[in-house]
Amino acid sequence: MPVRQAGIYINKIMSHQNYITGKHKYMNPYMAGIILGLVLLLSFYLTGRGLGASGAMKSVVVTTVNTASHENAANSHFYSKYISDGKNPMNSWLVFQVLGVLVGGFLSGALSGRLKLKTEHAPVITKKRRILMAIAGGALFGFGSQFGRGCTSGAALSGMATLSLAGFVTMIAIFGTAYLVAYFFRKNWI
Amino acid sequence: MKSSIKPLAIIIISIFGFLIIISHYADRSKLKLSAKEIQLIARSTNYTIDQKKLNEFQNPVLIDLREPKFFNIDHQEKAVNIPLSEILNEEYENLFASETPKLIQAHDQVKANEAWMLLTQLGYKNLYVVEL
Amino acid sequence: MKSREIFSVIILAMGLIAAILPGRKNDSIQLNERELLQEMLLETNYISVDELAQLLISGDPSVQLIDVRPISEFKDPLPRAINIPIDSIFSENYAYMFDQNIMKNIIYGLDDETATQVWMITKQLGYANNYLLKGGLQAWKKDILDPQYPKQTASQDEFDLYQKRMAARQFFTGAQTLPKATFTPIAPIQGKKKKKVQGGCS
Amino acid sequence: MGPVIPVYEISQELNFLIAFIIGIGFGFALEQAGFSSSRKLAGMFYGYDTTVLKVFFTAAIVAMIGLVFLNYFEMIDMGIVYVNEYYINSAIIGGVIMGVGFIVGGFCPGTSVCAAAIGKIDAMAYLGGSLIGIFLFGETYSWWEKVYNINYLGGIKLSTALGISDGLMVFLVIAAAVLMFWVGEWAEKKFKRPDISKEL
């Protein structure tokens, strides 16, 4: 398979090469947290809003639905909010911000030698199972993020920074539930 | 990894510090009262006084806000000329901050009332507007 | 000490400072005192009764007259004026009327005092499109509805002005003889709040 | 006075450029922290790796303190800053669903974008999955519309709800976070999994 060969080739040139230190250790979490906090603060200072991610994915979905069937989208109470008066949902702040996340993540990965095509999973489960679980988890999270008006970055992190009640509630709901059900999914991870 | 993080952190912090310093000096407002507070004060005080009642004040300072050319043609006795465009100048700060009653007069009522609002928001007391 | 302990002490100290700092009231004042003074000196922020008469006769639809007298004193308003008493300018129902960029608000009261207060407040909050009618309703009644014939010694300009005022008087008093029931203040248009930030993941 | 863009009415294009640059910073910080690895993220729920807790709370605290100080020095108008709107039911239900999604999928949307950028195939699958999830929500929106919109409390702050000042609230959150950091480091020792930590 050519895709597979390309993947192996990319892995060969990119992996185990840190252009700075030669190691691929992660940053000290507190230091990374401070940087993330400063980025968040800068975002508040410049734009008056926090960071987000799921909003950009919603823009992608709305655009797709709108292209496939404009009538359907315009009639739906959910989609019509984002396409009223000829607005382009892709022309939103979060879409550009998420494009930046892609670039930033890639830069960081390249600098620390972590660019590698791989699937991460516990040794007891298969790759296929992991991918299926990822899709299922993504679908649940995507659904939940629309229900809760934001994901961990948009609602919990940015919300907590502005001390908003919604932010704290969402954060507790996400992490609390995850702790409660963690036991049933332990095979996936450990 | 540490070596690359330090410069990064320094860059981020200095950019942020720069922004903060810029905005800090750019528009620091000296207005002491919020919009709601000034609304309350303006509603509750009766600061407009009649020409005839000027004598009731002890040692008042009469402040004329007109431009000097009008002031020079004709002005009331003992009036001080502070053109409206110069009321924020430092040289008048002591005058406004003093306890003596200050009576404001201008070409029209609008300007006198506005000057009263502005000076009150800067925290000055004992200001009155003379009715023409 | 371990790095976590140092870090904990630092953030706790910062938090303590934050807790001790007196909270600043959010008054949203946008202009500082010098900018406010600039606005006060700008003649285009004011409108005379003669200019207002012109505007109303030309039927400019973007003009919104706002009467700031208390409700109890609200009678015989200017044509199409709506009443927003000064005591309720911050209430939910009215605040957005001042902070919008569609209509040209002309603020007036019986005399200059109240209208000036409202105008100054809207200016320092950074709202655009608010103008002040000089002289208020008193000047309107005196100059437009009951113009004085100029003295014989007056200049040509004053006679022209008188002509114009008489024409305006015809226009407005003629309109006022219509039955009172036809007078309905126009419904407030929901202005776009330009400064509200969208956020979260929406 | 900040926030700069809404106050000075900066053009759309520059706004998007700033969004892009902030996004780069966001992605860089996430990746450096190790949020691009699902097993590292999931580690938080089994105690062997509490990076998520540390990064998440440190970031929130830094931004919180920063906002309090900016507000104090009159550099930011907190009246303009967006405070998330609180719909009691939708926040809790959405949070619970997201919690399950988190432990099943091992990512959250932001981290999955970041992980996909460095070539994690599971993150790409997760991204596809979340698009499906959002599509499903959009298609079934009429079923949830009522629950989605009831019990609206507006953009309310926790400090307002408790009746204390913002500064004191920040201090309490920091105290709680310091306690959690301590628990986190303790858990990392107790539930040590050198085999996993070495792999990451």
Q: ipTM above 0.85? A: no
Tokens 């302990």, located at residue: C5
Give yes or no for C30 touching D (CB within 8 A): yes
A75 to chain D: which residues are within 8 Å by CB?
none
Predicted confidence band at D188 (pLDDT cuts at 50, 70, 90)? confident
Q: What is the pLDDT of residue A137?
A: 92
Q: Is residue C178's pLDDT more than 70?
A: no
Tens of pLDDT, residues A39-74: 999 999 888 888 888 888 888 888 888 888 888 888
Q: Rounded distance, CA C167 to CA A153, Å?
A: 65
Q: What is the pLDDT of residue A105?
A: 92
- Mutation site, C197, C198, C201, interface A, largest A CB count within 10 A: C201
Residue A121 class from Cβ within 10 Å (0-12 exposed, 13-18 middle, 19+ buried)? buried
Annotate chain D with DSSP letters as a single string.
-B-HHHHHT--HHHHHHHHHHHHHHHHHHHHHHTTT-HHHHHHHHHTS--HHHHHHHHHHHHHHHHHHHHHHTT-B-TTTS----EEHHHHHHHHHHHHHHHHHHS--HHHHHHHHHTTBHHHHHHHHHHHHHHHHHHHTHHHHHHHHHSSEEES-BHHHHHT--HHHHHHHHHHHHHHHHHHHHHHHHHT--HHHHHH-
Tens of pLDDT, residues B9-29: 676 677 667 666 665 555 556
Tokens representing B64? 């004329």
Tens of pLDDT, residues A11-21: 554 444 444 44
Instruction: Parse chain B into domains and list their residue ranges.
Output: 35-130
Q: Rounded distance, CA D162 to CA B65, Å?
A: 50
What would the mean pLDDT of D145-166 be, rounded to a whole number?
82
Counting one residue from chain A and one from chain D, the pairs whose CB atoms sit within 8 A come to 526
B20 to chain D: which residues are within 8 Å by CB?
70, 73, 75
D70 to chain B: which residues are within 8 Å by CB?
20
- Domain B35-130 of CATH type 3.40.309.10: no
- Classify each residue of D8-34 as buried b or exposed e, where b means 16 or more C-beta atoms within 10 Å of its C-beta: eeeeeeebbebbbbbbbbbbbbbbbbb
Edge-to-edge strands of the sheet including C46-47? C46-47, C130-133, C104-108, C63-67, C82-83
Instruction: Parse chain A into domains and list their residue ranges.
Output: 1-116, 119-190
A158 to chain C: which residues are within 8 Å by CB?
199-200
Of C33, C119, C132, the CB nearest to B30: C33
- Among C182, C175, C150, smallest CA distance to C164 is for C150
DSSP class of residue C45?
Answer: G
Bridge partners of B130, per DSSP, are B49
Higher pLDDT pick, D36 / B51: D36
Tens of pLDDT, residues D91-148: 889 999 999 999 998 888 889 999 999 988 999 999 999 999 999 998 888 888 888 8
Q: What is the pLDDT of residue C190?
A: 43
Instruction: Parse chain C into domains and list their residue ranges.
Output: 33-176
Tell me how far CA of residue D155 lies from CA of A43, A54, B59, D78, D146, in angstroms.
19, 20, 53, 12, 19
Per-residue H/E/C for D14-27: HHHHHHHHHHHHHH
Q: Residue A49 and residue C3: Cβ atoms within 8 Å?
A: no
Angle between helices D51-72 and C3-20 (to 10 degrees): 30
Percent of chain B with pLDDT over 70: 81
Predicted confidence band at C142 (pLDDT cuts at 50, 70, 90)? confident
Tokens representing A63? 């655009």
- Among D197, D187, D30, D193, smallest CA distance to D108 is for D30
Report strand pairing: D152-154 vs D86-87: antiparallel
D26 vs chain A: nearest CA distance in angstroms? 6
Tens of pLDDT, residues D12-23: 888 899 999 999
DSSP-based three-state secondary structure for B80: strand
Could you tell me which residues of chain B have a Cβ less than 8 Å from any Cβ in chain A? 1, 3-5, 8-9, 12-13, 15-16, 19
- Among C2, A38, B29, smallest CA distance to D69 is for A38
By C-alpha distance, the chain B residue nearest A113 is: B1
Q: What is the pLDDT of residue C79?
A: 81
Predicted confidence band at B2 (pLDDT cuts at 50, 70, 90)? very low
- Among D118, D121, D117, smallest CA distance to A132 is for D121
CA neighbours within 13 Å on the CB side: how many for C54?
A: 8
- Mutation site, D51, D57, D67, D72, interface C, largest C CB count within 10 A: D72
Q: Residue D84 and residue C15: Cβ atoms within 8 Å?
A: no
Q: Which of 140-199 (C) contact A at CB < 8 A? A: 197-199
Q: Which of 73-92 (A) contact C at CB < 8 A? A: none
Q: What is the pLDDT of residue A13?
A: 47
- Mutation site, A59, A165, A170, interface D, largest D CB count within 10 A: A165
Tell me how far CA of residue A111 lies from CA of A25, A26, B4, in angstroms.
11, 11, 10
By C-alpha distance, the chain A residue nearest B4 is: A20
Higher pLDDT pick, A1 / C179: A1
Q: Is residue B4's pLDDT more than 60?
A: no
B34 vs chain A: nearest CA distance in angstroms? 21
Q: Is residue A147's pLDDT more than 50?
A: yes
Tens of pLDDT, residues C61-97: 888 889 988 888 888 888 888 888 888 888 777 877 8
Name, of A29-33, A140-144, D143-147, the range with top average pLDDT. A140-144
Q: What is the pLDDT of residue A100?
A: 93
Chains that touch B (3 or more CB pairs under 8 A): A, C, D
By C-alpha distance, the chain A residue nearest D70 is: A45
Q: What is the pLDDT of residue B69?
A: 87
Higher pLDDT pick, B41 / B4: B41
Tokens representing D99? 């919690």
Tens of pLDDT, residues A91-116: 888 899 999 999 999 998 888 888 88
Query: What's the start-to-end Cα distance of chain A, in Å?
Result: 31
Q: Is residue A156's pLDDT more than 80?
A: yes
Q: What is the pLDDT of residue C192?
A: 37
Of B39, B43, B118, the CB nearest to C33: B118
Q: Which CATH class is domain C33-176?
A: alpha beta
Q: Is residue D24's pLDDT more than 90?
A: yes
CB C200 within 8 A of CB A50: yes
